[in-house]
Amino acid sequence: MQRCCAGKMSDFIKEDIIISKLFHAIKDSIGERLTDDSVISFSGGIDSSIIASISYFFGYDLTLITVGTKDSKDVENAFLVAKILNLKEPFIRAIDRGEIRDALLEVMRIIKSKNPVQVAIATPFYFACKTAKEGGFGKILTGQGADELFGGYDRYKYMGERELEEALREDVMNITKDIKRDEAIARSQNLTLETPYLDRRVIKVASDIPVDLKIKRDADLVTRKYILKRLAEERISKELAGMEKKAMQYGSGVWKIMKKMAKDSGKGVGEFLSDLEDFDDG
């Protein structure tokens, strides 16, 4: 019993040391990127909520832009988390089927892709950037990179340790294409994209974190982004740590609308997007 308890105590001490290093790396990264003309792409998930909370710590009560369809999960979460963290009420950019349909071609031209997943991710971010530009802002902060660094994707839950290590390594190495996508969207609205989690100091700390502290397995319970959730629990809010978040394309409601439009036209999503209009792949 004593050995068991000592082992658990040792685990918590190890986790606390990692959390301290990670928190300071993230805090320093965010602090260096904050300006008065910054906004946060805010979904109410743990990644953007940590950025918003730390920004407030630095004295920046930044505008939080949330994009979603009526009654979407992201809109619901954004209001709830902003209240929990004592942040200003998020600015909701409500989008509907017509607006999404009208934006798809422009989004595909900007990101030079008709890949359904890429388009579905880029579309809500396009509306966030458009809203930021209309508000006179010049910089947008996102939580990009946290899923790859800390084990946020659902598919990670089903991998063994060795497979997970390889998947995380590959996903971090391949994140450049996602950054290029988001940078293209931001540039189209004359915005600077800031990704605090992809700061070299954060990446360095994250690379030293054991995979079993990214995907935590406890009997039948599997916790994704475990160490980041523990950081949120210890340094931000216990309520925030327990919240679940869908990927942007799902939480915003965009993917659901895209699937419905495709179905109504008697096509799959890929075919529907391809048939909208030919464009130059560059």
Q: Is 282 within a domain?
A: no
Q: Is 280 within a domain?
A: no
107 vs 128: CA distance, rounded Å: 12
Q: Is 190 within a domain?
A: yes
Q: Is 48 within a domain?
A: yes
Q: Is 279 within a domain?
A: no
Mean pLDDT of the chain: 90
Q: Is 281 within a domain?
A: no
Q: Is 144 within a domain?
A: yes
CB atoms within 10 A of CB 138: 15
The two structure tokens encoding residue 70: 């009526």
pLDDT over threshold 80, residue 244: no
The model's pTM: 0.90
Bridge partners of residue 41, in order along the sequence: 65
Instruction: Give the CATH number of the domain where residue 178 resides.
Output: 3.40.50.620
Radius of gyration (C-alpha) of the chain in whole angstroms:
19
The two structure tokens encoding residue 138: 């010049």
The two structure tokens encoding residue 25: 């790396």
HSE-up of residue 217 (Cα within 13 Å, Cβ side): 12
Residue 113 contacts by C-beta under 8 Å, 6 or more apart in sequence?
119, 181
273 vs 242: CA distance, rounded Å: 36
Contact 257/45 with Cβ under 8 angstroms?
no
Burial 102-112 (b: 16+ CB within 10 A, else e): ebbeebbebbe
pLDDT over threshold 60, residue 115: yes
Range of the domain at 233: 2-274
Domain total in the chain: 1
pLDDT of residue 271: 94
Note the pLDDT tens digit of each residue in 157-178.
999 889 999 999 999 998 999 9
pLDDT of residue 245: 65
Q: Is 112 within a domain?
A: yes
